[in-house]
Amino acid sequence: MRFFLISDNIDAIVGLRLAGIVGVILHTEKEVKETIEKIKNDQTVAAVLITEKLMLLCGSWIYKIKLEAKNFLIVQIPDRHGTSGIGEVISKYIKDVIGIKI
């Protein structure tokens, strides 16, 4: 099982490539959706890392996929341009999935 990165900038790609994580640079909602649809059928991918900007670009669609996906996780990661309210995102996700507000 492996990680896969979807990024909007080269910095995240280069940094995570040093850790052995491959990925793609995308800029449009259509590209992100097409890539995630391909990953859904790839049994070797366990987690998809996606940068904050792309998550904001198509967040409601990705949020739906996160709840439905059974064979992989989608995790938002901050990048050097992000403001990263990741704590709020995780809290909302936990509340929606298991009904506990933290």
- Name the one residue in this structure whose structure tokens are 């995102």: 89
- Report the helix count and the strand count for the chain, using DSSP H and E: 5, 4
Query: In whole angstroms, what is the distance from residue 15 CA to residue 63 CA?
Result: 25
Share of the chain above pLDDT 90, in %: 34
| Domain total in the chain | 1
- pLDDT tens digits along 2-48: 999 999 988 888 888 888 899 999 999 999 999 999 998 889 999 99
Which domain covers residue 84, as residue numbers?
Answer: 2-98
Give pTM, 2 decimals.
Answer: 0.76
The backbone torsions φ and ψ at residue 95, rounded to the nearest 5 degrees and listed phi first, read -60, -45
pLDDT tens-place string over residues 46-96: 999 999 889 889 888 998 988 888 888 999 887 766 665 656 666 676 677
Supply the CATH number for residue 46's domain. 3.40.50.10580
3-class SS of residue 71: coil
